[in-house]
Amino acid sequence: MAIRFHIARAALAIAALVAFSGFTVQSQNSLPPEFRWPMPSRENRPWTRWWWLGSAVDKTNLTRLLTAYRDAGIGGVEICPIYGAKGYEGRFIEFLSPKWMEMFTHTAAECKRLGLGLDVTTGTGWPFGGPNVTPEIASGKVVLKRYDVAGGEQFKTELPQGQLQCLMAYSDKAEQLNLSDKVANNHLEWTAPAGKWRLYTVLRSSPAQKVKRAAPGGEGNVLDPYSIKALDQMEIFLRHQRRQQTIPVVGCVGLAVG
Protein backbone atom coordinates (compact mmCIF):
# COMPACT_ATOMS: atom_id res chain seq x y z
CA MET A 1 0.00 0.00 0.00
CA ALA A 2 2.82 2.36 0.91
CA ILE A 3 4.59 1.69 -2.40
CA ARG A 4 1.43 2.49 -4.36
CA PHE A 5 1.03 5.70 -2.39
CA HIS A 6 4.58 6.86 -3.20
CA ILE A 7 4.17 5.97 -6.89
CA ALA A 8 0.91 7.89 -7.05
CA ARG A 9 2.46 10.89 -5.31
CA ALA A 10 5.46 10.89 -7.70
CA ALA A 11 3.12 10.67 -10.71
CA LEU A 12 1.11 13.63 -9.42
CA ALA A 13 4.28 15.64 -8.88
CA ILE A 14 5.48 14.95 -12.43
CA ALA A 15 2.09 15.83 -13.87
CA ALA A 16 2.01 19.05 -11.89
CA LEU A 17 5.51 19.94 -13.03
CA VAL A 18 4.65 19.35 -16.67
CA ALA A 19 1.45 21.35 -16.34
CA PHE A 20 3.29 24.17 -14.58
CA SER A 21 5.96 24.33 -17.27
CA GLY A 22 3.32 24.55 -19.96
CA PHE A 23 1.48 27.20 -18.00
CA THR A 24 4.71 29.14 -17.59
CA VAL A 25 5.39 29.22 -21.32
CA GLN A 26 1.82 30.26 -22.08
CA SER A 27 1.81 32.88 -19.33
CA GLN A 28 5.13 34.27 -20.59
CA ASN A 29 3.59 34.91 -24.00
CA SER A 30 0.53 36.53 -22.51
CA LEU A 31 2.40 38.93 -20.23
CA PRO A 32 3.45 42.45 -21.24
CA PRO A 33 7.09 42.59 -22.45
CA GLU A 34 8.31 44.26 -19.26
CA PHE A 35 7.08 41.30 -17.18
CA ARG A 36 8.42 38.49 -19.33
CA TRP A 37 11.50 36.48 -18.40
CA PRO A 38 14.45 37.97 -20.32
CA MET A 39 15.96 36.01 -23.16
CA PRO A 40 19.28 34.43 -22.12
CA SER A 41 22.34 36.39 -23.23
CA ARG A 42 25.97 35.28 -23.30
CA GLU A 43 26.54 37.08 -20.01
CA ASN A 44 24.05 34.88 -18.11
CA ARG A 45 24.70 31.62 -19.95
CA PRO A 46 27.26 29.28 -18.39
CA TRP A 47 30.88 29.96 -19.35
CA THR A 48 33.71 27.45 -19.32
CA ARG A 49 37.44 27.48 -18.74
CA TRP A 50 39.17 26.39 -21.95
CA TRP A 51 42.49 24.64 -21.36
CA TRP A 52 44.99 25.09 -24.21
CA LEU A 53 47.30 22.13 -23.58
CA GLY A 54 50.71 23.22 -24.79
CA SER A 55 48.81 25.84 -26.81
CA ALA A 56 48.78 23.13 -29.50
CA VAL A 57 45.82 24.68 -31.33
CA ASP A 58 44.97 25.36 -34.97
CA LYS A 59 42.37 27.54 -36.65
CA THR A 60 40.23 24.69 -38.00
CA ASN A 61 39.73 23.05 -34.62
CA LEU A 62 39.37 26.35 -32.79
CA THR A 63 36.42 27.21 -35.03
CA ARG A 64 34.97 23.71 -34.72
CA LEU A 65 35.10 23.71 -30.93
CA LEU A 66 33.80 27.25 -30.51
CA THR A 67 30.85 26.42 -32.77
CA ALA A 68 30.13 23.29 -30.71
CA TYR A 69 30.30 25.30 -27.48
CA ARG A 70 27.90 27.90 -28.89
CA ASP A 71 25.48 25.20 -30.07
CA ALA A 72 25.57 23.57 -26.62
CA GLY A 73 24.45 26.83 -24.98
CA ILE A 74 27.80 28.04 -23.66
CA GLY A 75 27.97 31.82 -23.34
CA GLY A 76 31.73 32.29 -23.41
CA VAL A 77 35.16 30.78 -22.82
CA GLU A 78 38.12 31.63 -20.63
CA ILE A 79 41.41 30.55 -22.20
CA CYS A 80 44.09 29.19 -19.89
CA PRO A 81 47.28 27.98 -21.60
CA ILE A 82 48.92 25.13 -19.68
CA TYR A 83 51.53 22.39 -20.05
CA GLY A 84 51.12 20.11 -23.06
CA ALA A 85 50.68 16.39 -23.62
CA LYS A 86 53.80 14.26 -24.00
CA GLY A 87 54.41 13.16 -27.54
CA TYR A 88 52.94 16.30 -29.08
CA GLU A 89 55.81 18.67 -28.42
CA GLY A 90 56.10 19.36 -32.14
CA ARG A 91 52.70 21.08 -32.05
CA PHE A 92 53.38 23.28 -29.02
CA ILE A 93 53.15 27.04 -29.56
CA GLU A 94 55.17 29.45 -27.39
CA PHE A 95 52.95 31.64 -25.21
CA LEU A 96 52.61 35.21 -26.62
CA SER A 97 54.74 34.36 -29.65
CA PRO A 98 53.56 35.73 -33.04
CA LYS A 99 52.04 32.30 -33.82
CA TRP A 100 50.24 32.21 -30.46
CA MET A 101 48.88 35.72 -30.98
CA GLU A 102 47.68 34.66 -34.44
CA MET A 103 45.69 31.80 -32.86
CA PHE A 104 44.31 34.11 -30.20
CA THR A 105 43.34 36.72 -32.79
CA HIS A 106 41.49 34.03 -34.75
CA THR A 107 39.73 32.93 -31.58
CA ALA A 108 38.64 36.48 -30.79
CA ALA A 109 37.29 36.94 -34.33
CA GLU A 110 35.37 33.66 -34.16
CA CYS A 111 33.94 34.49 -30.74
CA LYS A 112 32.70 37.79 -32.12
CA ARG A 113 31.15 36.05 -35.13
CA LEU A 114 29.48 33.38 -33.00
CA GLY A 115 28.28 35.77 -30.30
CA LEU A 116 30.48 34.24 -27.59
CA GLY A 117 32.25 36.08 -24.81
CA LEU A 118 36.00 35.70 -24.41
CA ASP A 119 38.29 35.87 -21.41
CA VAL A 120 41.91 34.89 -20.95
CA THR A 121 44.10 34.40 -17.90
CA THR A 122 47.00 36.83 -17.60
CA GLY A 123 49.54 34.04 -17.57
CA THR A 124 49.91 30.30 -17.89
CA GLY A 125 49.56 27.67 -15.19
CA TRP A 126 49.52 29.06 -11.66
CA PRO A 127 50.29 31.14 -9.68
CA PHE A 128 50.52 33.99 -12.15
CA GLY A 129 53.98 34.83 -13.47
CA GLY A 130 56.26 34.25 -16.42
CA PRO A 131 59.67 34.86 -18.00
CA ASN A 132 59.34 38.64 -17.77
CA VAL A 133 58.98 38.59 -13.96
CA THR A 134 62.32 39.67 -12.53
CA PRO A 135 63.37 38.92 -8.91
CA GLU A 136 62.55 42.55 -8.02
CA ILE A 137 58.83 42.06 -8.75
CA ALA A 138 58.61 38.33 -7.99
CA SER A 139 56.84 36.80 -5.02
CA GLY A 140 59.01 36.50 -1.93
CA LYS A 141 59.25 34.83 1.42
CA VAL A 142 60.22 36.01 4.90
CA VAL A 143 63.50 34.74 6.33
CA LEU A 144 63.84 34.95 10.12
CA LYS A 145 67.10 34.53 12.05
CA ARG A 146 67.80 34.82 15.77
CA TYR A 147 71.13 35.35 17.54
CA ASP A 148 72.06 35.37 21.24
CA VAL A 149 74.91 37.72 22.15
CA ALA A 150 76.62 38.27 25.50
CA GLY A 151 77.38 41.78 26.79
CA GLY A 152 80.76 43.08 25.64
CA GLU A 153 81.03 40.52 22.85
CA GLN A 154 82.18 41.74 19.45
CA PHE A 155 79.63 39.95 17.30
CA LYS A 156 80.32 39.30 13.62
CA THR A 157 78.14 37.29 11.25
CA GLU A 158 76.97 36.93 7.68
CA LEU A 159 73.22 37.30 7.44
CA PRO A 160 71.12 34.93 5.31
CA GLN A 161 70.66 35.88 1.69
CA GLY A 162 67.87 38.38 1.09
CA GLN A 163 66.85 42.00 1.41
CA LEU A 164 67.16 43.19 4.99
CA GLN A 165 63.88 44.51 6.36
CA CYS A 166 64.78 44.95 10.00
CA LEU A 167 67.42 43.92 12.58
CA MET A 168 66.50 44.54 16.22
CA ALA A 169 68.37 43.78 19.44
CA TYR A 170 66.61 43.27 22.81
CA SER A 171 68.35 43.01 26.19
CA ASP A 172 67.36 41.19 29.37
CA LYS A 173 66.71 44.66 30.83
CA ALA A 174 64.00 45.45 28.23
CA GLU A 175 66.34 47.66 26.22
CA GLN A 176 66.00 47.66 22.46
CA LEU A 177 68.26 48.84 19.65
CA ASN A 178 67.71 49.04 15.89
CA LEU A 179 70.83 47.58 14.28
CA SER A 180 69.69 47.76 10.66
CA ASP A 181 72.22 50.49 9.88
CA LYS A 182 75.04 48.28 11.20
CA VAL A 183 74.63 45.89 8.26
CA ALA A 184 76.82 46.33 5.17
CA ASN A 185 76.77 43.92 2.25
CA ASN A 186 74.81 41.43 4.35
CA HIS A 187 77.53 41.49 7.03
CA LEU A 188 76.94 42.56 10.64
CA GLU A 189 79.60 43.75 13.07
CA TRP A 190 78.40 44.94 16.48
CA THR A 191 79.78 45.16 19.98
CA ALA A 192 77.05 44.39 22.50
CA PRO A 193 76.60 46.65 25.55
CA ALA A 194 76.41 45.13 29.01
CA GLY A 195 73.73 42.52 29.56
CA LYS A 196 72.34 39.61 27.61
CA TRP A 197 71.09 40.37 24.13
CA ARG A 198 68.87 38.61 21.62
CA LEU A 199 68.90 39.74 17.99
CA TYR A 200 66.05 39.22 15.53
CA THR A 201 66.68 39.55 11.79
CA VAL A 202 63.92 39.82 9.20
CA LEU A 203 64.80 39.50 5.50
CA ARG A 204 62.87 39.17 2.27
CA SER A 205 64.04 36.52 -0.17
CA SER A 206 62.83 36.34 -3.76
CA PRO A 207 61.91 34.74 -6.04
CA ALA A 208 60.01 32.34 -3.80
CA GLN A 209 58.66 29.99 -6.45
CA LYS A 210 58.28 29.28 -10.14
CA VAL A 211 55.05 29.07 -12.13
CA LYS A 212 53.59 25.59 -11.77
CA ARG A 213 52.30 23.69 -14.83
CA ALA A 214 53.33 26.56 -17.10
CA ALA A 215 52.59 26.42 -20.82
CA PRO A 216 55.51 26.50 -23.25
CA GLY A 217 56.91 30.03 -23.16
CA GLY A 218 55.20 30.84 -19.86
CA GLU A 219 57.84 29.47 -17.51
CA GLY A 220 59.35 31.85 -14.98
CA ASN A 221 59.03 33.49 -11.59
CA VAL A 222 55.69 34.00 -9.87
CA LEU A 223 54.62 37.66 -9.65
CA ASP A 224 54.25 39.34 -6.25
CA PRO A 225 50.45 39.85 -6.13
CA TYR A 226 50.72 42.30 -3.21
CA SER A 227 53.06 44.72 -4.98
CA ILE A 228 51.48 47.65 -6.83
CA LYS A 229 54.77 48.18 -8.66
CA ALA A 230 54.80 44.56 -9.83
CA LEU A 231 51.20 44.64 -11.01
CA ASP A 232 51.74 47.95 -12.81
CA GLN A 233 54.78 46.58 -14.64
CA MET A 234 52.87 43.47 -15.69
CA GLU A 235 49.94 45.56 -16.93
CA ILE A 236 52.31 47.66 -19.06
CA PHE A 237 53.83 44.48 -20.51
CA LEU A 238 50.45 42.95 -21.35
CA ARG A 239 49.16 46.16 -22.92
CA HIS A 240 52.30 46.31 -25.05
CA GLN A 241 51.67 42.73 -26.21
CA ARG A 242 48.07 43.62 -27.01
CA ARG A 243 49.11 46.63 -29.12
CA GLN A 244 51.43 44.45 -31.19
CA GLN A 245 48.43 42.61 -32.66
CA THR A 246 45.13 43.67 -34.22
CA ILE A 247 42.68 41.73 -32.08
CA PRO A 248 38.93 42.19 -32.69
CA VAL A 249 37.03 43.68 -29.78
CA VAL A 250 34.79 41.03 -28.24
CA GLY A 251 32.23 41.57 -25.50
CA CYS A 252 33.48 40.56 -22.08
CA VAL A 253 37.11 40.23 -23.09
CA GLY A 254 39.09 40.44 -19.88
CA LEU A 255 42.17 39.32 -18.05
CA ALA A 256 41.83 36.96 -15.14
CA VAL A 257 44.62 36.51 -12.63
CA GLY A 258 45.15 32.85 -12.05
Contacts 24+ apart (CB under 8 A), 245-248: 245/101, 245/104, 245/105, 246/105, 247/101, 247/104, 247/105, 247/108, 248/105, 248/108, 248/109, 248/112
pLDDT digits (tens, 9 = 90+) for 197-241: 999 999 999 999 999 999 999 999 999 988 898 888 887 777 766
Residue 232: alpha-carbon gap to chain centroid: 16
Q: For the chain, what are the domain ranges? A: 2-35, 47-133+211-256, 141-205
The 3-state DSSP class for residue 158 equals strand
List, for residues 28-43, the tens digit of each pLDDT value. Answer: 678 887 777 777 777 7
46-92 pLDDT, tens per residue? 999 999 999 999 999 999 999 999 999 999 999 999 999 999 999 99
- Characterize the bridge pairing of strands 187-191 and 154-158: antiparallel
Judge contact between 215 and 55, C-beta under 8 A.
Answer: yes
**For the purposes of burial, counting CB atoms within 10 Å of the CB of 159, is it exposed (0-12), middle (13-18) or buried (19 or more)?**
middle
